[in-house]
Amino acid sequence: GKIYSVNEGNYQKWSTGTQQFLHYLHEVDAQTGRPYTSRYSGCLVADVHRVLCKGGLYMYPGEQKNPEGKLRLMYEAAPLSFLVEQAGGMGSTGVEPVNQLIPKALHQRVPLYIGSQDDVTKAEAFLRSESPI
């Protein structure tokens, strides 16, 4: 799908790679179906449900002051990643698959990029091309 969901109000707090990926989603390119349409409700479950139904990507990136992100691995990121993967999608921290993480703490936080395999892989490519925060 050509929908993305992220709180763009935090744009200035994101890493360069995340900002560049958002620019990529905004660019006009008929061949790739861009620009993507932004749909963000602020409700994680509702936004991921939309991604499951219509395709696209949900992002909750880490920020410069909190590179580990806000969402909790054990009861937000991992369960939703599992559901999306069962539907043929993908869940990632931007660096590695969420389902391959070994929790270090009950309330561990992680950045989250979740949705279609193509969109999540593209986001990871932008994040790999940057220097660390």
d(CA 75, CA 123): 23
β-partners of residue 92 are 97, 113
Cis peptide before 79 (omega within 30 of 0): no
User: Which pLDDT does position 132 carry in this prediction?
Assistant: 44
d(CA 17, CA 19): 5
The helix/strand count (H/E) of the chain reads as 4, 7
β-partners of residue 37 are 3
Nearest to 119 by CA among 65, 73, 62, 54: 54
Nearest to 3 by CA among 59, 55, 79: 55
Domains and CATH numbers, the chain: 3-128 (3.40.190.80)
User: Which pLDDT does position 131 carry in this prediction?
Assistant: 47
User: Which pLDDT does position 129 carry in this prediction?
Assistant: 84
pLDDT in tens, the chain (133 residues): 799 999 999 999 999 999 999 999 999 998 988 999 999 999 999 999 999 999 999 999 999 889 999 999 999 999 999 999 999 999 999 999 999 999 999 999 999 999 999 999 999 999 988 644 4
